[in-house]
Structure 1
Amino acid sequence: MTGLTEADRTPPPPCSGPAVWTGPELADPGQWRTRLSETGLAEIDSALRETRRRDLTLLRLTAADFPLPGLGADLERLSGVLEHGRGFAVVRGIPVERLGETAASTVFWGLGRHLGHPVPQDADGLVLGRVRDTGRGPGDPAARDGRTREALAFHTDPTDLLALLTLRTPRTGGHVSLVSAAAVHNAVLDLRPDLAGRLYRTYHFDRREEHAPGEPPCAVAPLVSRHDGPSGALSMRYDRSCLESAQRFPHVPRLEPADHELFDLIDSVAGSPEYRLDLDLRAGDLLVLNTHRVMHARTAIEDLRSPEHENHLLRLWLAFPQGPGSRDTHHWVTLRDVIRPRGTAAPRATNARRYPA
Structure 2
Amino acid sequence: MTSVINVLRRPCTGPAVWRGPDLADSAQWVLRLSPAQTDELGAALRSVRERGVPLLKVTADDFPLPTLSGELARLADVLENGRGFVLVKRIPVEQYGEAAASTIFWGLGQHLGVPVSQNAAGHMLGHARDTGGTMADPSTRGYQTRARLPFHTDGSDVLGLLCLRAARTGARTALVSSAAVYNAVLKRRPKLVERLYRTHLLDRREEQLPGEPPYSAVRFASWDGGKLSMRYNRCYLESAQRFPDVPRLQPADVELFDLIDELAESREFRLDIDFEAGDLLLLNNHAVLHSRAEYEDFAEPELKRHVLRLWLALRQGRDLPPDFWGDPHSAVDRPGRGGISPRDVIATQNSAVRCGSRSHG
TM value normalised by structure 1 = 0.91
Q: RMSD value over aligned CA atoms?
A: 2.1
- Match among 33, 36, 48 for residue 30 of structure 2: 33
Superposed displacement of residue 192, structure 1:
1.1
Please tell me the residue identity of whatever aligns with 1:85: G
- Candidates 305, 325, 343, aligned match of 2:299: 305
What percentage of aligned pairs have identical amino acids?
A: 55
Could you tell me which of 73, 76, 100 is aligned with 1:76? 73
The runs of 5 or more residues in structure 1 that have no matched partner are 322-326
Q: Secondary structure at the match of 2:13?
A: coil
Instruction: Mark the CA change 1:146 to 1:51 in structure 2 (over 3 Å): closer, same or farther.
Output: same
Instruction: Tell whether the 8 Å contact from 2:8 to 2:223 is kept in structure 1 after alignment.
Output: no
Equivalent residue, structure 2, for 1:90:
87
Aligned residue for 1:183?
180
* 1:276-300 C-alpha deviation (Å, 9 max, x unpaired): 1000011000000000000100000
Partner of 1:339: 340
CA contact (8 A) 1:15 1:186 kept: yes
Secondary structure class of the residue paired with 2:97: helix
After TM superposition, the structure 1 = structure 2 runs for residues 138-217 of structure 1, keeping only pairs within 5 Å, are 138-217=135-214
Q: Which runs of 4+ in 1 moved over 3 A?
A: 5-8, 330-335, 349-352
Deviations along 1:200-238, one digit per CA (max 9) or x if unpaired, are 11101111011111122111111100113xxx2111010
Aligned partners of 1:351 and 1:256: how far apart in 2?
A: 40
- Give how far 1:351 is off: 8.9
| SS of residue paired to 1:197 | helix
**2:222 and 2:320 in contact (8 A); partners too:** no
Which whole-Å CA distance do the structure 2 matches of 1:331 and 1:153 have between them? 27
Q: Do structure 1's residue 223 and structure 2's residue 224 form an aligned pair?
A: no
In structure 2, runs of 5+ residues without a counterpart are 328-338
Is 1:314 matched with 2:308? yes
Deviation at 1:252, TM superposition (A): 1.6
Structure 1: distance between partners of 2:241 and 2:219: 16
Contact 2:202 2:237 in 1 (8 A): yes
Counterpart selection for 2:351 from 327, 348, 351: 348
User: Judging changes above 3 Å, is the alpha-carbon distance between structure 1 residues 172 and 217 closer, same or farther for their aligned structure 2 residues?
Assistant: same
Q: Structure 1 residue aligned with 2:229, among 220, 228, 235?
A: 235
Q: Which amino acid aligns with 2:77?
A: G
Q: How much has 1:304 moved relative to structure 2?
A: 3.7
Contact 1:11–1:193 under 8 Å retained in 2 = no
Q: Distance in 2 between the 1:201 and 1:208 partners?
A: 21
Q: Distance in 1 between matches of 2:320 and 2:196?
A: 21
**Partner amino acid for 1:261?**
E
Corresponding residue of 1:45 = 42
Q: Which residue of 1 aligns with 2:63?
A: 66
Query: What amino acid sits opposite 1:278 in the alignment?
Result: D
In the alignment, the residues of structure 1 paired with residue 208 and residue 3 of structure 2 have an alpha-carbon distance, to the nearest angstrom, of 33
Please tell me whether residue 255 in structure 1 is matched to residue 249 in structure 2.
yes
After superposition, where does 1:4-23 map in structure 2 within 5 Å?
Answer: 7=4, 12-23=9-20
1:280 to 263, 274, 285: 274
Q: For the structure 1 residues 7 and 349, does the alpha-carbon distance in structure 2 shift closer, same or farther, using more than 3 Å as the test?
A: farther
Q: Which residue of 1 aligns with 2:240?
A: 246
Q: Kindly tell me the number of residue pairs found equivalent between the two proteins.
A: 341
Q: Are the aligned partners of 2:206 and 2:214 in contact in 1 as well (CA < 8 Å)?
A: yes
Deviation, structure 1 residue 34: 1.2
Deviation at 1:307, TM superposition (A): 3.0
CA contact (8 A) 1:168 1:308 kept: no
Bigger shift: 108-117 or 188-197? Answer: 188-197
Question: CA-to-partner distance for each residue in 1:96-145, whole Å, 9 max, x for gaps?
Answer: 01112111010000000100101111001011100100111223222212
Deviating more after overlay: 135-144 vs 197-206: 135-144
Give me the whole-angstrom Cα distance separating, in 1, the residues matched to 2:300 and 2:174: 25
Give the 3 Å change call, closer, same or farther, for CA 52–235 of structure 1 in structure 2: same
Matching residue's letter, 1:306 = E
